[in-house]
A and B are shown apart, each in its own frame.
Chain A
Amino acid sequence: MSDEQEFEPRIIYFLCSWCGSGGGETAAAHHLHYPENVRPSRVNCTGALPAVHIIRPLIEGADGVVISGCYPGDCHYNDGNFRARRRVALVKSILDTLGLEPERVWFRYVAHGEGQRFVDTATEFNDHIKKLGPNPLKTRSDT
């Protein structure tokens, strides 16, 4: 086994309660698999996900954070996903300016019926993080 495969990333996958989680359920219904180390975490709407909750896992032990919710126009709360997109843009700007690897944060729409897309996202992100390696911030004791 190569070094790359020995590193098992800790990944948080934020899913909105509607399309995001729906995608997960559809995947389950079709018996599709995704890596165990990708941990789903449900939020009511991606627009309700505070910026701090994307940042905090990256300091405390996560190697990557991926966020999925409804497509533009489909948000159960009308515009939550638009706000989420802006918030993710803000967080990425901060991470980029501070040299903290904004590529460890992904934002991708997943619809209720897109089970394959859901598992593909989880798997692809997992492979992506494996290539990036462990998050250097998470082992710092002086944060």
Chain B
Amino acid sequence: MPEGLKINKGAQEAVRELLCSLLESGRVNGVLALGRTRGANGGVAYSLFTDSDAFVADGAALPFLPFMPANAGGLLSRLTLKGSLAGPVAAVVKPCELRAFIELVKRSQGSLDNLLLISSTCGGVYPLDVGANGGLEERLPRYWEAVKQGEVDSDVRPVCRACVHFVPENADITVALVGEEDLDTQCTLFLDTEKGAAFVKGLEGLQGTSLSGELETEPIQRSHSQRAAYREELFAGVEVGMQELIRTFGRCIGCHACKTVCPICYCSLCYFDSQDCEYLPEIYESELERKGGLRLPPNTVFFQLGRLAHVSVSCVGCGMCTDVCPADIPVSTIFSKVGTSVQALFDYQPGKDVTEEIPLMTFEEEELAQVAT
């Protein structure tokens, strides 16, 4: 049974105090978390905080805000890409962001050294257009009510409603949120790793009672079934087949924003942006002869299928891609659906185990017999 710490304060307050103490005591040099940017609009962005003032009651930090302006897995990669952290830094991230970071670490795009990873059981995040222009404030009461009941607010990202991986893996500390009815007065922190425990033990200003408890409570299991059912429904609604794909991606403008925000897409220069896709006029003309008509810029569906081939094995279903699409294409639904089947094929769960190799980087001598004709 994992070790935990029960604090007699509301979850938001308890976590803010924890982070404040970690900074003030010098146990960590910085904290990566969501925070308010200055702005009448109430903009929210991830920030690397080094001043503990951000974590006092009215400070800028908003650790568990149900919003994801960027996938923090990608941000942790950015932080540690050019070198491991020399001293400890804490990061408050959602389960899918953590999984994305693990996938990036496997690809040598980041380092876990000296990172104190704090996550929580997750009730989903609101789409970006809800958060733009300060629209989050009015939704929060409803959101937290749902979380307490172990439910998911229907206005969150569809892939959040369909997410069955909302219990974090590989966190050092997990904050219990989903299904915790007394969230406003009590908070349980699970110390998943020795590292997590070490950072918290004897931390001045943190008062709590030790306990042993299960993270996967009955409300969590119930939520899991509900989300699994919705997931099936969501994926079944995706129209497949070449004609249907052409219809769905007909609106695609080839902006590649989905690629830019995807945590797994880390290539500095995407294949589809490279010279390989800059065709000679003769190529366009011969294609034109063949087909009579040719969409420009080319490779609309090719880009989607190609990106699927590159990332589906590690897709964590965070939903950034749908949110950022200017043409309202449900990219994350399609990518999650394909990702799920590809991952099942290889019996692989992205982000579960940092020592587990990416399926395309390894092989068995005897496997996948169904592939060879």
Binding site for B on A (CB under 8 A): 140-142
Q: Mark B35-73, 1 if CB is under 8 A from A, else 0.
A: 001110001010100000000000000000000000000
Which residues of B sit under 8 angstroms from A140, Cβ to Cβ? 38
Which residues of B sit under 8 angstroms from A142, Cβ to Cβ? 37-39, 43, 45, 47
Which residues of A sit under 8 angstroms from B39, Cβ to Cβ? 142
Give the Cβ gap from B195 to chain A, nearest Cβ, in Å: 28
Which residues of B sit under 8 angstroms from A141, Cβ to Cβ? 47
Interface residues on chain B, number (Cβ under 8 Å): 6
Give 6 A-B pairs besides A140-B38, A142-B45 with Cβ atoms closer than 8 angstroms: A141-B47, A142-B37, A142-B38, A142-B39, A142-B43, A142-B47
The A-B contact count (CB < 8 A) is 8
Residue of A nearest to B43 (CB): A142
Residue of B nearest to A141 (CB): B47
Q: Kindly state the separation between the CA atoms of A17 and B284 in the bound complex, as whole angstroms.
A: 48
Residue of B nearest to A140 (CB): B38
Give the Cβ gap from A6 to chain B, nearest Cβ, in Å: 22
Q: Kindly state the separation between the CA atoms of A142 and B49 in the bound complex, as whole angstroms.
A: 11
Q: Kindly state the separation between the CA atoms of A140 and B43 in the bound complex, as whole angstroms.
A: 14
Give the Cβ gap from B38 to chain A, nearest Cβ, in Å: 5
Residue of A nearest to B38 (CB): A142
Q: Kindly state the separation between the CA atoms of A99 and B11 in the bound complex, as whole angstroms.
A: 42
Interface residues of B in 20-43 (CB under 8 A from A): 37-39, 43
Give the Cβ gap from B163 to chain A, nearest Cβ, in Å: 30
Give the Cβ gap from A140 to chain B, nearest Cβ, in Å: 7
Q: Mark B205-249, 1 if CB is under 8 A from A, else 0.
A: 000000000000000000000000000000000000000000000
Residue of A nearest to B51 (CB): A141
Give the Cβ gap from A90 to chain B, nearest Cβ, in Å: 27
Q: Kindly state the separation between the CA atoms of A142 and B35 in the bound complex, as whole angstroms.
A: 10
8 A–B pairs (Cβ distance < 8 Å), ordered by A: A140-B38, A141-B47, A142-B37, A142-B38, A142-B39, A142-B43, A142-B45, A142-B47
Residue of B nearest to A143 (CB): B37
Give the Cβ gap from A63 to chain B, nearest Cβ, in Å: 20
Which residues of A sit under 8 angstroms from B38, Cβ to Cβ? 140, 142
Give the Cβ gap from B245 to chain A, nearest Cβ, in Å: 40
Residue of B nearest to A142 (CB): B37
Which residues of A sit under 8 angstroms from B43, Cβ to Cβ? 142
Residue of A nearest to B49 (CB): A141
Q: Kindly state the separation between the CA atoms of A141 and B45 in the bound complex, as whole angstroms.
A: 11
Q: Kindly state the separation between the CA atoms of A82 and B45 in the bound complex, as whole angstroms.
A: 41
Which residues of A sit under 8 angstroms from B47, Cβ to Cβ? 141-142
Give the Cβ gap from B132 to chain A, nearest Cβ, in Å: 16
Q: Kindly state the separation between the CA atoms of A141 and B47 in the bound complex, as whole angstroms.
A: 8
Give the Cβ gap from A137 to chain B, nearest Cβ, in Å: 12
Give the Cβ gap from B174 to chain A, nearest Cβ, in Å: 28
Residue of A nearest to B47 (CB): A141
Give the Cβ gap from A59 to chain B, nearest Cβ, in Å: 15
Give the Cβ gap from B36 to chain A, nearest Cβ, in Å: 9
Q: Kindly state the separation between the CA atoms of A126 and B212 in the bound complex, as whole angstroms.
A: 62
Give the Cβ gap from B337 to chain A, nearest Cβ, in Å: 37
Give the Cβ gap from B10 to chain A, nearest Cβ, in Å: 26
Residue of A nearest to B54 (CB): A141
Q: Closest 5 A-B residue pairs measured CB to CB?
A: A142-B37, A142-B38, A141-B47, A142-B45, A140-B38
Q: Kindly state the separation between the CA atoms of A140 and B39 in the bound complex, as whole angstroms.
A: 12
Give the Cβ gap from B289 to chain A, nearest Cβ, in Å: 44
Q: Kindly state the separation between the CA atoms of A70 and B43 in the bound complex, as whole angstroms.
A: 45
Q: Mark B110-140, 1 if CB is under 8 A from A, else 0.
A: 0000000000000000000000000000000
Give the Cβ gap from B148 to chain A, nearest Cβ, in Å: 32
Q: Kindly state the separation between the CA atoms of A140 and B47 in the bound complex, as whole angstroms.
A: 12
Q: Kindly state the separation between the CA atoms of A85 and B37 in the bound complex, as whole angstroms.
A: 35
Q: Kindly state the separation between the CA atoms of A141 and B60 in the bound complex, as whole angstroms.
A: 11
Give the Cβ gap from A64 to chain B, nearest Cβ, in Å: 24
Q: Kindly state the separation between the CA atoms of A102 and B308 in the bound complex, as whole angstroms.
A: 47
Q: Kindly state the separation between the CA atoms of A140 and B37 in the bound complex, as whole angstroms.
A: 10
Residue of A nearest to B37 (CB): A142
Give the Cβ gap from B294 to chain A, nearest Cβ, in Å: 37
Give the Cβ gap from B67 to chain A, nearest Cβ, in Å: 16
Give the Cβ gap from B1 to chain A, nearest Cβ, in Å: 41
Q: Kindly state the separation between the CA atoms of A114 and B162 in the bound complex, as whole angstroms.
A: 71
